């Protein structure tokens, strides 16, 4: 079954997102929502992670660093110690050597009422398209 991407939505707290992938893991549905445009707060976080990456890998040229940011929504529970349904998973790696990678995961994301509603509606619409072709 093919999952179709749906329209991009603007969520003020994080930026523009696209639904990309849905998977079932350990009895939960995980929805990975890549962010295609970051707002100031997320951009600031990614910049801090760039600095951390460069400290851990000082031989890597800054222009060779790639980044992938995903919002993860887990139906049916929170990750232990994180009081949010939304989690950021951020990966940084060296373009010419994918073995040089850092995974910054389980970063809690609090979207607020409006942002949470928007993202949940996006997920609901995508699930309807994927599962029921509506």
Full-prediction pTM beyond 0.85?
no
Local confidence pLDDT in tens for the 134 residues of the chain: 333 333 455 566 666 666 666 666 665 666 677 776 667 778 888 889 999 999 999 999 999 999 988 887 776 555 666 677 788 888 999 999 989 999 998 888 877 788 788 888 877 777 777 667 65
Res 4: pLDDT: 36
Long-range contacts of 37-44 (CB under 8 A, 24+ apart): 38/14, 38/69, 39/12, 39/13, 39/14, 39/15, 41/13, 41/14, 42/14, 42/15, 42/69
Q: Where are the domains of the chain?
A: 9-38+68-91+103-132
């Amino acid at each position: 079954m093919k999952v179709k991407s749906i329209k991009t939505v603007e969520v003020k707290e994080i930026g523009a997102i696209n639904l990309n992938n849905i998977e079932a893991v350990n009895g939960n549905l995980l929805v990975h929502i890549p962010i295609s445009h970051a707002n100031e707060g997320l951009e600031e976080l990614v910049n801090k992670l760039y600095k951390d990456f460069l400290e851990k890998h000082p031989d890597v040229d800054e222009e060779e660093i790639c980044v992938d940011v995903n919002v993860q929504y887990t139906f049916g529970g929170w990750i232990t110690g994180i009081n949010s349904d939304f989690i950021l998973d951020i990966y940084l790696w060296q373009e010419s050597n994918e073995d040089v990678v850092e995974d910054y995961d389980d970063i809690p994301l609090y979207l607020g009422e409006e942002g949470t509603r928007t993202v949940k509606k996006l997920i609901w619409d995508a699930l309807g398209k994927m599962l029921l072709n509506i």
